[in-house]
Amino acid sequence: MSQLPAILSRLDADLDTSLARLSSWLEIPSIGTDPAFDTDTRRAAEWLRSDLEGLGFKAELRETGGHPVVLAHRPKPGAPHALFYGHYDVQPVDPLDLWANDPFKPVVKEIEPGRKAILARGACDDKGQVMTFVEAMRATLAETGDLPIGLTILVEGEEESGSVNLPGFIKANAAELKADFAMVCDTGMWDRVTPLITSTLRGMVYQEVRLTAADRDLHSGLFGGAAANPIHVLTKIIAEIHDEAGRITIPAFYDGVHEPTNAQKAEWADLNLTEKEFLGQVGLKHSVGERGRMLIEQIQSRPTCDVNGIWGGYTGEGSKTVIAAKASAKVSFRLVGDQDPAKIAAAFHQFVRERLPEDVTAEFIGHAGSPALAVPVDSPVLQKARKALAEEWGGRVVSIGSGGSIPVGGDFKRTLGLDTLFVGFGLDDDRVHSPNEKYDLSSFHKGQRSWARILRALAS
């Protein structure tokens, strides 16, 4: 650790140079979802490959069914070996007229007194985040001539389109991707001065249910009062999924859901996340989650069920007095702990079928399913990273779950058997996927310093 001060000093001195490097990467419009930008997207991959090669990695572009993966290796026999993930593709920029500057001509602006940011598409998601790690490696190599751990770098070009080719790539190259743990820098901070480690990710079950009654839409004046109305049936079933206390009533739904430790509850309570702070930003005031649970629990450590869409019958202009023959809904479940996606889906099917009256049938279409992920709270990797972040930021480090899902973590766990350390430096106001995306210079600078500390800590 005696070399760490020199590494941090180099990162401080080279900030402008590292910003110039990031800007040159941001200038490449790697919009992976648009075929018109395929050449540029590949050019962005080649830019990173060349940069990693310059750092002494064996780096190459590996082909997939879509955009290539940048894969780079720098082993260190006898030391821990990590697999680092990021992505070089970016979101489309529409609507272009809402940007204050050209989205692919990065600019550094003072966005409020004493606070500067770099503005460009991909600044935060995910080029800026990837480069915090790359710059930490660069400074470490410059000062010490080596890295403290072995590394494999995997940066894909299809994250913004669902990473459709990544699971197959990981499976086909599992032996080459072998590591002790994985690291991802595509997440955020708790606030501008409080780093966050994402320790759990909720899983997902996504189901579409379709109810059918009559063989055609019916005249409500002739058949109303006699014919089964699948819209009535579906909405009644959906209403029964939650009880008055906000709990999900599907039998065995909570099997595999674990209570947090007292230490975790105390840490979450200390965050003091309020309804006004969290829901007020979207025009709401009151939480409707499980009674007796803190708001922070409701959004990251408890399972949920939400109706994402519901339709049936006539929805056009004016009136059409029909009893619909069909009614449909899309329903998603966020899972935690050891909940089994297949069992949850089956339990939902049974819950619906048990409530169907005569003359109404149901069919189901499964759209997604993945289990929850968790890094053990006593994981040495997590604890070392937490200590390193605390030393850099000079305060508390938050370790909570993500209410959403980051699929690559599941791929690493299921295929490679790896736990993933999720550390990122994005902020809630970085306007990710929106016009005027930004990355605070404090995030970029202290993110570099944080990774330098983490790399040194993980070698011990």
List of residues 6+ apart from 453 with CB closer than 8 A? 4, 8, 388, 389, 391, 392
Domain boundaries, the chain: 4-201+373-458, 203-266+293-370
Q: Quick check: 29 and 40 in contact, CB under 8 A?
A: yes
Give the Cα separation of 341 and 373 in Å (integer).
Answer: 12
Q: Which residues contact 212 (CB under 8 A, 6 or more apart)?
A: 230, 325, 326, 360, 361, 362, 363
CATH class as words, domain 203-266+293-370: alpha beta
The amino acid occupying position 314 is Y
- The partner residues of 457 in beta bridges, in order of sequence, read none
Q: Is the peptide bond before 126 cis (omega within 30 degrees of 0)?
A: yes
Residues in the chain: 460
Instruction: Quote the crossing angle between the two packed helices 15-26 and 441-458, to the nearest 10°.
Output: 110
Q: What is the pLDDT of residue 1?
A: 58
Q: Check: CB of residue 128 under 8 Å from CB of residue 122.
A: yes
Whole-angstrom Cα Rg for the chain: 25
Domains 4-201+373-458 and 203-266+293-370 equal at CATH topology level: no
The superfamily in CATH containing domain 4-201+373-458 is: Zn peptidases (3.40.630.10)
Check if the beta carbon of residue 190 is closer than 8 Å to that of residue 272: no
**Are the C-beta atoms of residues 213 and 360 closer than 8 Å to each other?**
yes
What pLDDT does residue 377 have?
82
The per-residue pLDDT string of the chain (460 residues; one tens digit each, 9 = 90 and over) reads 589 999 999 999 999 999 999 999 999 999 999 999 999 999 999 999 999 999 999 999 999 999 999 999 999 999 999 999 999 999 999 999 999 999 999 999 999 999 999 999 999 999 999 999 999 999 999 999 999 999 999 999 999 998 999 999 999 999 999 999 999 999 999 999 999 999 999 999 999 999 999 999 999 999 999 999 999 999 999 999 999 999 999 999 999 999 999 999 999 999 999 999 999 988 999 999 999 999 999 999 999 999 999 999 999 999 999 999 999 999 999 999 999 999 999 999 999 999 999 999 999 999 878 899 988 888 999 999 999 999 999 989 999 988 777 789 989 999 999 999 999 999 999 999 999 999 999 999 999 999 999 999 999 8
At 75, list the tokens. 């082993």
Please check whether residue 105 is in contact with residue 160, taking contact to mean a CB–CB distance below 8 angstroms. Answer: no
Give the integer Cα–Cα distance in Å for 270 and 63.
47
Q: Which residue's structure tokens are 């900030």?
A: 15
Tokens in use for 246? 């906000």
Q: Got the DSSP string for 337-387?
A: TT--HHHHHHHHHHHHHTTPPTT-EEEEEEEEEE--EE--TT-HHHHHHHH
The amino acid occupying position 205 is: V
Structure tokens at 215: 């063989």
